[in-house]
Amino acid sequence: MLVVGGSGSIGSEIAAEAAVAGWEVAIHGRTESSVEAAVEKLRTRAPAASATGFSADLRTPGAVELLVEQVGSRLGRIDAVVECMSTGPSGIIGRFDETDPDAYLELAAVSIVHLQRLARAALPWLSREGGALICFASDAGRFAARRQTMIGASRAAIMGFVRNLAVEVAENRVRVHCISPSFVVGSASITRLEASGMSRIEQARRRAGLGLPTPADIAPLVLFLCGPGAKRITGQIISVNGGLNA
């Protein structure tokens, strides 16, 4: 399993859960130090696990393709790719007429543009044994709300990509899904919003009858979708939001 963005809060939890479950894991992060920390976290949970770290700035041309090739060559196969990169630049949440149009271009580059390059590079590997590609968006792409026009548009694009690609590559026994969280406790995005003093976080906490999700709530779902129990399931957009929306 290749976890792209595996040094973040969600990605590192997925990698650790996968290692505990017996997966051979490749953890990607932007810097060597972040990757080393993620591998160390994994080994505290699964001391005997097989885990390898790969650092790369995927904004660099050709870096996505090189990462996939390095992982495939090192592991000999890639049965699952989980993409859980950062949510994007600051300034993407707010009134549309007050946001920076260039911020949307940066957001698109680290979301849908990056995802299609990753999928293109990974599909030949995933097609060998019938694998899974899992990516992340957010409920901003499913449920309309004020102040999220730009992030909502980018996340909806990811969801459309996933559903259409899933139909296309099913004949190659490749499954494609999108996990769509709301606010994930401990994630970089919610930490940034809390630091800005946004009241919507507290409102979300009160509204989520099941409680806002944590990375530990998301990782088991990812493992299920990558496993044999989900071999006939593809093209799904699954919200994990504690009851904020349905």
* Chain segment 42-57, per-residue pLDDT in tens: 999 999 889 999 999 9
Find the domain containing 171 and state its range. Answer: 2-239
Distance CA 84, CA 35 (A): 14
Residue 36: C-alpha distances to residues 7, 25, 57, 213 (Å): 8, 13, 15, 26
Q: Is residue 246 part of a domain?
A: no
CATH of the domain at 97: 3.40.50.720
**pLDDT value for 162:** 98
Q: Is residue 245 part of a domain?
A: no
Residue 197: C-alpha distances to residues 90, 192, 193, 201, 206 (Å): 14, 9, 7, 9, 16
What pTM value is reported for the model?
Answer: 0.93
Q: Is residue 74 part of a domain?
A: yes
Q: Is residue 11 part of a domain?
A: yes
pLDDT in tens, 189-226: 777 666 666 667 888 889 999 999 999 999 999 999 99
Q: Is residue 244 part of a domain?
A: no
Q: Is residue 38 part of a domain?
A: yes
Band of residue 92 on the pLDDT scale cut at 50, 70, 90: confident
**pLDDT value for 86:** 63
Q: Is residue 61 part of a domain?
A: yes
Nearest to 6 by CA among 55, 49, 47, 46: 55
Q: Is residue 129 part of a domain?
A: yes
**pLDDT value for 204:** 87
**pLDDT value for 194:** 66
Q: What is the mean pLDDT of residues 160-179?
A: 98
Domain count of the fold of the chain = 1
Q: What is the mean pLDDT of residues 165-183?
A: 97
- When the pLDDT of each residue in the chain is averaged and rounded to a whole number, the result is 92
Percent of the chain with pLDDT over 70: 95
